[in-house]
Amino acid sequence: MKNPLLVVGSVALDRIETRAGKREEILGGAATFIALSACHFTPVNIVAVVGRDDFADEHVELLTSRGVDVTGLERVEGRTFRWSGVYADDFSSRTTLDTQLGVFESFDPRLPQNYQGARFLLLGNIDPTLQLKVLDSVSDKCFTATDTMNLWIDIAKEKLIEVISRTDLLIINDEESLMLTGKSQVAVAAEQILKMGPTSLIIKRGEHGAYLFTGDTTFFAPAYPLPDVIDPTGAGDSFAGGLMGYLAGMGSTATSDIKKGMIFGTAIASTTCEGFGVEATSGLDRPAIDRRYEALRKLTAID
């Protein structure tokens, strides 16, 4: 039997504008992208909060149709977390136009009893105080991957370092790694972060791929070369979801499987970029993922 992946994070309604156009009130949030990616490999249990006033049943139905258990998805009085942003034409940067926390402002993750025995956990980039609460609710034997963002490094660094010390796999981007450590080179930052507690560290570099660092291994996963990008929102979460979904499905935390999981995660993340929000990701099936996995594997294969 496969191990369910426990996902704790945000579910949102987004307004996104890119050179390809714009969409309003579309489904987003880290936990959403993670769940829709991980579900191809293993069952997913999601813990998040949405507003009863404005969160459409069709969004819940999308998750459940993909085998995601929504017992931990709270629907409370108020409005769902909203984010609005616009990307530069070359996708080198994005500008946040508006953030409305809504019910997410008082999010207090409570794990249903049947979630508390999780063996695999992915913590989305929520407040480190909440991440610590979740860690206190699961077994010490649970393999935990943690994501974060520059906001928490800036305003809650002490708590974040405590989370990192209890994390098995930390997933951040290159800018965050430098900000967290005060170093100027990614490889040096990686060495410093591993001393904080994780046994494995993944540093994402967007269109330039991702690096895995362990105590004795460095591995590079290339990005999939896309002819065009529609919307990169959620690509990093899709990557993490595919990776952790694969590990949970395999019941493995071996470095060799983390490497394979990174390639699967990259395959899904690249698909996410080919549509707005979850448009492309929600239409994926396992054969399509496997084909892109093979294409990625061949990028660095030496015959």
pLDDT in tens, the chain (303 residues): 689 999 999 999 999 999 999 999 999 999 999 999 999 999 999 999 999 989 999 999 999 999 999 999 999 999 999 999 999 999 989 999 999 999 999 999 999 999 999 999 999 999 999 999 999 999 999 999 999 988 899 999 999 999 999 999 999 999 999 999 999 999 999 999 999 999 999 999 988 999 999 988 999 999 999 999 999 999 999 999 999 999 999 999 999 999 999 999 999 999 999 999 999 999 999 999 999 999 999 998 777
Residue whose tokens read 């049947």: 114
Q: How many CA atoms lie within 13 A of 107 on its CB side?
A: 31
Residue 252 maps to a domain = yes
Residue 49 maps to a domain = yes
CA–CA distances in Å: residue 251 to residues 2, 30, 119: 7, 23, 9
pLDDT at 70: 97
Q: What is the C-alpha to C-alpha distance for residues 11 and 146, in angstroms, rounded to an integer?
A: 17
CA–CA distances in Å: residue 59 to residues 26, 39, 50, 232: 9, 15, 11, 20
pLDDT at 300: 82
pLDDT at 204: 96
Nearest to 202 by CA among 190, 188, 215, 216: 190
Residue whose tokens read 């015959």: 303
Residue 210 maps to a domain = no
Residue 271 maps to a domain = yes
Residue whose tokens read 């006033």: 53
pLDDT at 2: 82
pLDDT at 1: 63
Its domain, for residue 239, covers 5-172+228-295
Q: What is the C-alpha to C-alpha distance for residues 48 and 11, in angstroms, rounded to an integer?
A: 6
Residue 264 maps to a domain = yes
pLDDT at 55: 96
Residue 48 maps to a domain = yes
Q: What is the C-alpha to C-alpha distance for residues 13 and 54, in angstroms, rounded to an integer?
A: 9
Q: What is the pLDDT of residues 214-227, one digit of tens each?
A: 988 999 999 999 99
Give the number of domains in the chain: 1
Residue 67's CB is within 10 A of a number of other CB atoms, namely 14
Q: Are the C-beta atoms of 163 and 131 separated by less than 8 Å?
A: yes
In one-letter notation, the amino acid at residue 213 is F
Q: What is the CATH number of the domain that holds 129?
A: 3.40.1190.20
Residue 284 maps to a domain = yes
Cα dihedral sign, 25-238-111-45:
positive
> What phi and psi, each to the nearest 5 degrees, are found at residue 74?
-80, 140
Q: What is the C-alpha to C-alpha distance for residues 229 and 21, in angstroms, rounded to an integer?
A: 11
Residue 245 maps to a domain = yes
Nearest to 3 by CA among 141, 111, 109, 197: 141
